[in-house]
Chain A
Amino acid sequence: MLAILVGTSVFAQKKPAISGTVKDAVTGETLVGATVLVKELPQTGAATNAYGFYSLTAAPGAYTIVYSFVGYAPTSVAVDLQKDTVFNIALNPKSDLQEVVISNRRRGNENVQEAQMGVEKLDMQQLSNVPVIFGEKDILKTISLLPGVQAAAEGNTGYYVRGGASDQNLILLDEAPVYNASHLFGFFSTFNSDAIKDATLYKGGMPAQYGGRLSSVLDVRMNEGNNKTFTLDGGIGLISSRIKAEGPIEKDKGSFMISARRTYIDFFLKAASDTNVRNSSIYFYDLNAKFNYHFNDRNTIYLSGYFGKDVLGLRNTFGTNWGNSTGTLRFNHIFNSHLFSNTSLIYSSYSYLIQSFLVENQFTAKSAINDFNFKEDMQYYINATHTLSFGINAVNHDLQPGQVSSSTATSRGALNNAQSRRGIESAAYVDDQWRLSSKINLRYGLRLSGMFLLGPGTFKTFDDLGNTTSSQTYNSGSLVKRYINLEPRLSLSYILNEQNSIKLSYNRNTQNIHILNNSNSSTPTDLYVLSSNNIKPEIGDQLSAGYFKNFDDNAFEFSVEAYHKWLQNQIDYKNGAQLAGNPDVESQLVYGSGRAYGLELYLKKRYGRFNGWISYTLSRTEGKFAAIDNGNYFPNRYDRTHDISTVGIYQLNKRWTLSATFVYGTGEAVTYPTGKYSVGGVTTYYYSSRNGYREPSTNHLDLGATLEGKPHPKYHSSWTFGIYNVYNRHNPYIISFRDSKTNPGTSEAVETSLFGIVPSATWNFRF
């Protein structure tokens, strides 16, 4: 009886909350990460979630609530808070660029205050000024300019976060996983930056709502579309063009956005003198579409989709085409001032076909992966000190690794039907953001993840040598293998003062979908496999610590972060692995462990006529396999000792903005010969330790300039110019060894590089 009385009295004295959605006044787009502060309570604050929703609890009283967001004029609202109140706010964008830059308003220090560390929130406005190859705004290229993130070497796809392999990164586009986020050698991103509202990269301290990959999560949210007026944006460039149309379905209630891109670089190839080049095809296209409808202030539905395809055929060398499709249906429901829910149904599909015509290594590889995913995420804003997030997630994977292939001597009709595989990955999580005191913010959570490998199929178990030790056939839906893992997550920030903090974090992640790569270069011979009776889930533990400091009224951000990762159940191919035409790929694998550690330094100037950043990462990533190099640690191919990125953006005047990027990275770790001998009439190279050498470094300087068009009532235009690799350095793509042609009877090393200096120009318009 007493307990119930206490319970109800506590409930009766529950503090009231202010909640609502923050949007852009001009387009109606919800704003992600907008700040909501209470002037009278400096310790109280909130930020809008991925759907623009916020909730803030305070004792009853009279307050001034201040809403602000980068690039927008802040708004204040006076309230006499006695009960739960809803304020839906529209912020006006700053129209004058100068004003944004020199603004006197209070600048945020969230990077110092939040418990979250190892997170980079991309500034989509700043992104438009960073020069990248072919003049394409590209979030994947831009994130590689941040500390702890490395772009794959020129011409290769993927990126590496804190020493993790490129398949350890999860990329979400409106909650749907994107399996191959690059077009054409990694030079164009799958993401049309015009369509993106928000992008956040978690490289450490990953909150419990994310899982499934060891190293990072890039959470990308697309624009919903202007729900007030129709607009048309686009750009026409030397190599590719893009267009975006958006507008209201019903004014202020629903909107759509459709954007498309295509390259036409192959039209230029037709002018080449070389027949092989002339008969090659290189193009890609992609399409983003999104629809949303607000039934009322509490219920919104979203439908988004992405379709993309790459076709690449270099005659006599290889041909490949691949494509991603994703579709997401989401439903937001706001229960009350404290409880927000999002339900998602997601479809994601990726398939590729690769043919190598190289005389020495002919094969055709075809692979597809289809996912169906259900997610339910809830956010419960309990009070001023606790915000609880919890949810469940289940994804059904269908893998078709059908690899049709032939060995080096073309056997016509060599056909391999590797069996399809089906598995269900599921997770449940709970996470609390706890403002322990004015000095300590804590974020802790637990994720329970499960992997269920299902029939139908014949499942063989292999020993260390690749011999089959058992073989069992299962019916459709039968459980073949189950793995359950607990993933604790913890982040803590200790605030020394408003401008300085120390942060610590620990997280465990597991991964059940693995991409096997057996290539010396990164041309994809990638195979997707699920955890199985042979392959255990990969497990990663990361510990990181950092010191964060803002100065000059938050105009400068500085941080130093150190991390150490322990990786278990890492997978590699055994030496001399036979993949061509092998239906039992799992018999060719070896298992081991890995570790990665590093130090990241970062200095960023956020505001001002001149802004930009410098980032430096010193790191090491290694593998340890009993079957390789006698079980000694060896550097991973993508180990990069030094990684330096500098970006500078200078607003010359109202119309011109200039920018420059300089990057430097230690060369990849490679295996070189340390001797040679003759067998079978052929000079053969003798190799010693795995990845014991470094390729020459990669470095390049890129320049860019944006010219805003003269103001015009009906439309807005601008020009973007760029020069990639200004000093024309031929950065190494691959180094190989052969008998010398100029000096017969000797051997030589040959370096192949892809791109020298590449200029670009794009005309952009908006109606």
Chain B
Amino acid sequence: MTGCQKVVDLKLDNAASQIVIEANFTNIRSAQTVTISRSVPFSNTDNFPPVTGAKVTIQENKGITYSLTESTIPGTYTVNNVAGRPGSTYTLTVQADGKTYTAVSIMPQMVSFGPMTFGNDVFNKTSKAVSVHFADPPGITNQYHFVLYINGAQVKNIYVADDTFTDGSNVDIDLYQNDVNVKNGDQVIVDSQGIDRNIFYYWFSLSQQQGEGIGNGAAPSNPPSNISGGALGYFSAHTSVIQTSIVR
């Protein structure tokens, strides 16, 4: 009598394929990666064609420029053994398929994170929820992005937070999700990122459009990218604290 869902076949148009740049530059000495791919029609399978032969550079302040080279995985461009420095401004330049795209991102100062804890998930009685804890630095605006992995698989939820009401406080954030049941013995990895304001708006905008059904978020639109030239995606220079734990 009430409430049902069914899959429907909509005749959706196919927009021209858009270039998608996902660029991350962290403060952890490691391989830093930029992936470039293309969008596909809605009805396609989730195989996103890589863009090869692109020229990718990342410049630190007005100084050193790193050139990223295409790795064995097509569409992935890396530079090895470098680390970003908190407080620096990074400029990404991509030349691909005859066009140039640029983006600027500022790596915030480091924020340290306490050990993660596990508690009951109020929305999912059979699962545990992961909580992160940190002290927000007072007097500056901070933004955060958390990526959660359970047993090596990334949880699809997008977690963002800022310090509008928690500036200078001890903050506890519960990472609720109903994608995966988290049980004792599961391996949990949390990547806690300190991000700049533009990247916060990007992830926040995407998170608003997740979910389905009653109480859905805002009218859909493409998230505000910090890449100029007409590319989808983002360039995020961020601090990263990666913590691994076993649920108990």
**Chain A residues at the B interface, C-beta cutoff of 8 Å:** 314, 316-318, 356-362, 407-416, 518-521, 523, 573, 575-578, 581-582, 637, 671-688, 690, 693, 696, 730, 734-740, 742, 745-758
Contacts of B14 in A (CB 8 A): 674-675
Interface size class of B (residues with CB under 8 A): 35 or more
15 other contacts beyond A408-B161, A752-B5, with CB at 8 A cut-off? A318-B214, A361-B208, A361-B210, A362-B176, A408-B158, A409-B174, A410-B174, A520-B217, A575-B222, A577-B218, A671-B221, A676-B46, A687-B220, A740-B7, A745-B45
B147 on the interface (CB 8 Å rule)? yes
Cβ-neighbour of B215 out of A356, A407, A637, A693 (below 8 A): A356
Closest chain-B Cβ to A310's Cβ sits at a distance in Å of: 15
Closest chain-B Cβ to A400's Cβ sits at a distance in Å of: 18
Contacts of B184 in A (CB 8 A): none
Closest chain-A Cβ to B221's Cβ sits at a distance in Å of: 4
B12 on the interface (CB 8 Å rule)? yes
Instruction: Name the residue among A316, A408, A755 with the largest chain B CB count within 10 angstroms.
Output: A408
Cβ-neighbour of A677 out of B48, B161, B205, B217 (below 8 A): B48
Contacts of B219 in A (CB 8 A): 518-520, 573, 637, 671, 690
- For the residues of B in contact with A, the DSSP-based class is loop
Contact across chains for A745 and B46 when beta carbons are under 8 A apart: yes
**Chain B residues at the A interface, C-beta cutoff of 8 Å:** 1-10, 12-15, 17-18, 20, 22, 37-48, 123, 146-147, 154, 156-162, 164-166, 169, 171-178, 201, 203-224, 232-234
Cβ-neighbour of A686 out of B18, B169, B204 (below 8 A): B18
Contacts of A680 in B (CB 8 A): 22, 147, 158, 203, 206
Contact across chains for A736 and B216 when beta carbons are under 8 A apart: yes
Closest chain-B Cβ to A521's Cβ sits at a distance in Å of: 5
Contact across chains for A755 and B1 when beta carbons are under 8 A apart: yes
Contact across chains for B164 and A581 when beta carbons are under 8 A apart: yes
Closest chain-B Cβ to A460's Cβ sits at a distance in Å of: 15
Q: Which 7 A-B pairs have the closest CB atoms?
A: A736-B212, A576-B205, A360-B211, A674-B15, A677-B39, A360-B210, A575-B221
Contacts of B162 in A (CB 8 A): 407
Contact across chains for A679 and B206 when beta carbons are under 8 A apart: yes
Contact across chains for B20 and A410 when beta carbons are under 8 A apart: no
Contact across chains for B42 and A676 when beta carbons are under 8 A apart: yes
14 A/B residue pairs, CB under 8 Å, sorted by A: A317-B215, A358-B215, A359-B176, A408-B158, A575-B221, A675-B41, A676-B39, A677-B37, A730-B4, A746-B44, A746-B46, A749-B12, A751-B6, A757-B1
Closest chain-A Cβ to B232's Cβ sits at a distance in Å of: 6
Contact across chains for B207 and A360 when beta carbons are under 8 A apart: yes
Contact across chains for A748 and B7 when beta carbons are under 8 A apart: yes
Closest chain-B Cβ to A135's Cβ sits at a distance in Å of: 15
Contact across chains for B147 and A359 when beta carbons are under 8 A apart: no
Question: In the docked arrangement, what's the CA distance between A575 and B223, Å?
Answer: 8
Contact across chains for A520 and B218 when beta carbons are under 8 A apart: yes
Cβ-neighbour of B220 out of A408, A685, A752, A757 (below 8 A): A685
Contact across chains for A752 and B4 when beta carbons are under 8 A apart: yes
Among residues of B, the one whose C-beta sits closest to the C-beta of A629 is B221
Contact across chains for A520 and B216 when beta carbons are under 8 A apart: yes
